[in-house]
Every structure is written in structure tokens, then in C-alpha cells.
């Protein structure tokens, strides 16, 4: 079978999101089974192409840019054009695209190839939790959400990567059950991800006898960081010998707007657990 993946964040370019961890392993496994795999990914211009381990990698512009909705929409357009050329040149049998931010929209409009939609995330999550900065980004997310809805309606198959996502698609989005397939995503290789000694406690002055709560990820409402903050006073009350360590990239999407890092620090100061944070 000849399979094409619209994988914007395929290494080594793009941002290190879920797709950057998922698609390389999937492509390698399918190529190993004898399938012909094509990856359409984002790269700095001038774009180029290469073949590695039986995988055809087609890079298209524009250059990756963190947090730019316009850049993403531009990539979607160039990826769609590249897919049309690949269909003609290689006679592609099936295409998969993540649905997030409307990535699958153009492919779902021009249904020349059966479409599988992958659901790593939904723009509706950003809208529901107000994870955006300002009116312009809010408008962009509203547009992206409409493109996602169209893509989900037109896709032949939709992959839910967790039972929670499956329930969301069936119960909230009212997708027909026969279109949804549960394929649980496993990103962590337990042969590589093992416990190793760390100097994190000594680096941040956390005594060995204190319990440590560790969060790592984007500082965004959709990640529930503000809920963790709201819970901290009760956690500290029940567990006085604990420390919260937060590691993640700041965003301008705090409740009420502005820096999420500043929101966390201000909340800790107002609720008297600032000395429990690192």
C-alpha cells in the first residue's frame, strides 16, 4: 500500500508536539512491513526531498514558526498541493492527516484519496479553556475549529488516540460510531525512559525528605495548570511538607489574559503557598 502522511512537525523540523513523536515510529514500522510511505512535512525554504530507511520525505514551506496560525495555514495549502502531485506521480492509496487546526481541511474538500483523520487535539479545547491571547488569535481559533468540524464530517475514518477522545467524538461531536477507531497512542519507550538519579532537588534547594509535585508542559489553561494552582492551598494544608515544581514554556493565555507564569506566581502569593513553589 502507498500511504501519505501530512505530518507538519516531522523531525528534524517543526515543533516537538505529539505528531513529532508519533509519525516517525509509525512510518518506520509501516516501511518495515513493505508499505511505501510518504511524509509531507514543514521545513525552512528552499524545500528539498530525501529518502531515508524506505521513507520518502517531502519538505514544503514556509519555515516553521512557533505559535503562528497563519504559518500553519500556509503549510496546509502547500502540503495539499504537494499531495496532489504525489497522487499523480505515485498513485497514493490513502492519506492520513491530524485534524487539529484544520490540517485535514483541504484534503477533505478534494476527496480524491481516502482520508484518515488523526485526533491529537482539537481547537475547541483552546476555545473552551480560553487558551488564546487576544481577539485576533480567538478569531483564528474559531476559523480553525470550523475547518476541523468539516474535516471530521468528511473523513472516511477517524482515529481516537485514547478512550477519552473516543467518548468525546461519539458523545459531544456526534460522530457516527462506525467512523471512529480507537488506537491507543503509546509515546513512551519504557526501554529508554528509565529512572536515573537527578540533582533537581539540590539544584533548587528541595530537601530530600520533602514530597515533590512536578508539572512539565506548556503553561496553558487546556493543560489544567490553573486547576492545579486552585488545588494547591488544599494540597499544602493536607501535605505541608510538599513543594510544587513547574517546568514549561510560558504563554499569554492565562485566565483573564497575560503571562501564565505571572498568573501562577501571583496566585501562589495571594494564597500563601509561594514558599512551596520552584
Pick the residue with more confidence: 158 or 242?
158
pTM of the predicted model, to two decimals? 0.78
User: Residue 124: inside a domain, yes or no?
Assistant: yes
Distance CA 75, CA 69 (A): 10
Q: Is the pLDDT of residue 151 over 70?
A: yes
User: Residue 193: inside a domain, yes or no?
Assistant: no
Percent of the residues in the chain that have a pLDDT greater than 90, as a whole number: 40
Q: Is the pLDDT of residue 275 over 70?
A: yes
CATH number at residue 161: 3.40.50.2000
Residues in the chain: 278
Cβ neighbour number for residue 128 with a 10 Å cutoff: 11
Q: Is the pLDDT of residue 66 over 60?
A: no
Mean pLDDT of 128-141: 80
Residues pairing with 60 in the sheet: 42
The residues, ordered by sequence, that sit 6+ positions from 136 with a Cβ below 8 Å of its Cβ are: none
81 and 149 both lie in a single domain: yes
Pick the residue with more confidence: 240 or 47?
240
User: Residue 237: inside a domain, yes or no?
Assistant: yes
- The alpha helices in 33-184, defined as continuous H runs, are 69-90, 105-109, 123-128, 134-154, 163-167
Q: CB–CB of 108/150 below 8 Å?
A: yes
DSSP single-letter state for residue 172: I
b vs e for 166-182, b when ≥16 Cβ sit within 10 Å of the residue's Cβ? bebbeeebebeeeebee
158 and 259 both lie in a single domain: no
pLDDT value of position 65 = 62
Instruction: List the Cα angle 278/222/147 in 5-degree steps.
Output: 150
pLDDT digits (tens, 9 = 90+) for 167-224: 999 999 999 999 999 998 766 666 766 777 778 788 888 888 888 898 988 898 888 8
Q: Is the pLDDT of residue 67 over 60?
A: no
28 and 116 both lie in a single domain: yes
Amino acid at each position: 500500500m502507498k500511504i501519505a502522511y501530512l505530518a507538519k512537525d516531522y523531525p528534524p523540523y517543526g515543533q516537538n508536539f505529539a505528531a513529532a513523536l508519533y509519525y516517525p515510529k509509525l512510518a518506520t514500522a509501516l516501511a518495515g512491513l513493505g508499505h511505501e510511505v510518504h511524509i509531507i512535512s514543514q521545513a525552512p525554504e528552499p524545500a528539498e526531498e530525501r529518502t531515508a530507511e524506505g521513507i520518502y520525505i517531502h519538505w514544503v514551506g514556509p519555515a516553521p514558526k512557533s505559535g503562528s496560525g497563519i504559518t500553519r495555514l500556509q503549510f496546509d495549502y502547500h502540503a495539499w498541493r504537494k499531495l496532489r502531485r504525489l497522487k499523480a506521480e505515485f498513485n497514493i492509496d490513502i492519506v492520513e492527516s491530524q485534524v487539529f487546526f484544520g490540517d485535514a481541511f483541504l484534503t477533505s474538500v478534494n476527496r480524491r484519496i481516502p482520508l484518515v483523520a488523526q485526533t491529537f487535539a482539537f481547537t475547541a479545547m483552546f476555545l473552551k479553556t480560553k487558551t488564546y491571547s487576544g481577539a485576533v488569535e480567538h478569531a483564528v481559533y474559531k476559523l480553525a475549529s470550523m475547518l476541523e468540524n468539516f474535516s471530521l464530517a468528511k473523513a472516511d475514518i477517524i482515529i481516537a488516540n485514547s478512550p477519552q477522545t473516543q467518548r468525546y467524538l461519539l458523545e459531544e461531536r456526534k460522530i457516527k460510531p462506525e467512523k471512529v477507531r480507537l488506537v491507543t497512542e503509546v509515546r513512551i519507550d519504557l526501554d529508554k525512559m528509565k529512572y536515573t538519579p537527578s540533582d533537581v532537588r539540590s539544584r533548587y534547594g528541595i530537601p530530600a525528605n520533602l514530597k515533590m509535585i512536578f508539572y512539565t508542559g506548556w503553561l496553558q489553561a487546556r493543560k489544567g495548570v490553573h486547576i492545579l494552582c486552585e488545588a494547591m492551598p488544599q494540597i499544602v494544608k493536607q501535605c505541608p511538607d510538599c513543594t510544587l515544581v513547574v517546568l514549561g514554556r510560558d504563554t499569554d493565555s492565562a485566565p483573564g489574559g497575560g503571562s501564565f507564569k505571572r498568573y501562577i506566581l501571583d496566585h501562589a502569593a495571594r494564597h500563601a503557598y509561594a514558599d512551596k513553589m520552584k
